[in-house]
Every structure is written in C-alpha cells, then in structure tokens.
Structure 1
C-alpha cells in the first residue's frame, strides 16, 4: 500500500466519522435548554424555578438549602410561582482514615453526608421525584484544635455544595418528559 493510498483511506475514514458525528449531533438536546419540556409543563428551567425549599435542620442542611436555592433559581426572581416542594433530610458521619499510632490521633478523616429527599407537587401528594444521594469529603485533622474544627466545617460546606449539585441534576433529569 503506497502512502497516497493510506492517506486517501485515512481521509475517507475521517469523513465517515465526521458525517456520523454530525448526524448524531442533531439528536442531542441540552437538559437546561429553554426547549426541553418537563413533566410539570413548560421548560425544565421554569419547573426548577418553581420548587420551594423549606428550612433544613443542621449546618449541612442550611448550606445545602442555600446552595440548592441558588442552583434552582439563580435568577433571583422573587415572584416565581412555586408549584412543587422539596423535602430533604441530611445526615452525616465521620470516618477516620489514618491514625498516627505514635500519639494515637487521627491524621485525616472523611465526612460522609447523605441527603434523602422527595419532590412533591403543591396541592397534591403526587411524588414527582425522590432519591438518596451521598458524598464523601476528606479533610486533614491537626493537633491544633481550631484548625481541625475549621477543616471539619469546610468539609461540611463542600459536602453541602456537592450534594446540591447532584440533587439538582437528578431533579432536572427526573422532571424531563
């Protein structure tokens, strides 16, 4: 096979791959597009703006709620009509990963945060979506008490943000018709 025949077959292969990719690209529709319809009527973006989130207990619950409110309705429109309600509960636990056996102190830990949530339509008890999501956030522990407390709090905030992102994506996927 000469080099010109090899170049011709590579060009043909490239053209075939680009043609298939172009045809398949027309089937893709972004999840957060204005044209993606939801099971609640209207677009998914509008449905996400219509979700009411009451206060959630605990520090992670507070940060989780605030982040989820921002991610669902980043526009800041206060007059958006709430058509659904998200009820959530957050639990957390700490797992010790490594221990310094010389002084018996944990060097690092992993915060495991779990959100159990349910989205219901306002006015009815119809469950639109539900789920349980967990995240694991590692952090370092120090011999200095304040540094360890601050690292644990930062891990809680990171866990809440990660959970909010995961829950928002799952809600949007579940609301897509």
Structure 2
C-alpha cells in the first residue's frame, strides 16, 4: 500500500467517525439543560428544590448535608416548601493500598463513603425511591500522627463531597424520568 492510499484510508476513517458522532449528537440530552428544551428537566430542577434534607449524624454527615443543601438549593439555603424528604445513612470503609514493610503499617490508604438514601413524600412513611451511592478518596500515612489524622479527615471530606454530587445526580435522574 502506498503512502497516498494509506492517508486516503485514514481520511475516510476520520470522516466516517465524525459523521457517526454528528448523527449521535442529537441523541443525548443534558440532565441540567434548559428545562424548556429538555424533557424532564423541569421535573428534576423543581424536585431538587423541593427536597428537605434532615440532619445526618457524624462529622461526615454534617459535611454531606451541607453539600446536599448547596447542590439542591443552588446555595440558597433550605427548601421553602418541601414536598419530599431525602434521608441518607452513611457507612465508612478504609482500605490499605500500599504497605510499608519496614514499619509494618500502611503507607497509603483509601477511604470509601457509602450513602444509602431514600426519597419520601412529607407525611408518608413509605419511601418512593431508594438508592445507594459511593465515593472514594486516597491519602498517605506518615510517621507524624497529627499529619496522618488530618489526611484521613481531608480524604473523608473529599469523598463526602463527591458522594453528595453522586446522590444529587441519581435523584435528579430519577426526577427527570419520573412521570408526573
């Protein structure tokens, strides 16, 4: 095969790929797009604004609740007229990633925060939507105890903020596809 035939074949492949991408571009709708254009977008935005988020116990619970309120209310505080309650329970799992054989302890670890959540109408004890989300963050252990303790706290905060985004995305997706 000559150089000209090879470049023509590459050009044909690129043109085919671009044509396929252009054809599929209209198949995707953004979750947080303009609600007048995207079907279900108005349901997701209104549903998120009408969520009440009760207190979640523990340090990670406080960080998660604050982040959930910020993400659902757009930084505007609590819901004015909540219609649903988003309840979250947290679990924390820490796993060693790398082991310092000289010291006999982990030198790097990963913390995973798992959040099981339910969406319940106000005044009704029966949940109408359940889900689970998780997020992980890694951190390094050092010989300095206070630095290691702070690294754990910061990794948990990073994972908790990522978990809040995952939960909001899942709940928004549920609202967007839920018939009204």
Shared fold per TM-score greater than 0.5: yes
Deviation at 1:31, TM superposition (A): 1.3
Deviation at 1:42, TM superposition (A): 4.8
Q: Which residue of 2 aligns with 1:54?
A: 54
Q: Which residue of 1 aligns with 2:76?
A: 76
Deviation at 1:61, TM superposition (A): 1.1
Post-superposition Cα deviations, 1:27-78, rounded to whole Å, max 9, x if no partner, equal 443212323455xx95311111111101101111111111111111115165
Specify the SS of the correspondent of 1:56: coil
Distance 1:55 1:19 in 2: 50
C-alpha contact (below 8 Å) 1:88/1:117 kept by paired residues: yes
1:6-155 correspondence runs (5 A): 14=15, 24-33=24-33, 34-35=35-36, 36=38, 38=40, 42-76=42-76, 80-155=80-155
C-alpha contact (below 8 Å) 1:128/1:175 kept by paired residues: no
Distance 1:119 1:141 in 2: 38
C-alpha contact (below 8 Å) 1:51/1:72 kept by paired residues: yes
Distance 1:20 1:99 in 2: 47
Distance 1:77 1:109 in 2: 35
C-alpha contact (below 8 Å) 1:53/1:86 kept by paired residues: yes
- Give unmatched runs, 5+ long, in structure 1: none
Distance 1:100 1:18 in 2: 49
Give the TM-score, by structure 1 length: 0.81
Give the TM-score, by structure 2 length: 0.79
Distance 2:26 2:147 in 1: 52
Distance 2:118 2:58 in 1: 18
C-alpha contact (below 8 Å) 2:112/2:136 kept by paired residues: yes
How many positions carry a matched residue from both structures?
Answer: 173
Distance 1:17 1:125 in 2: 51
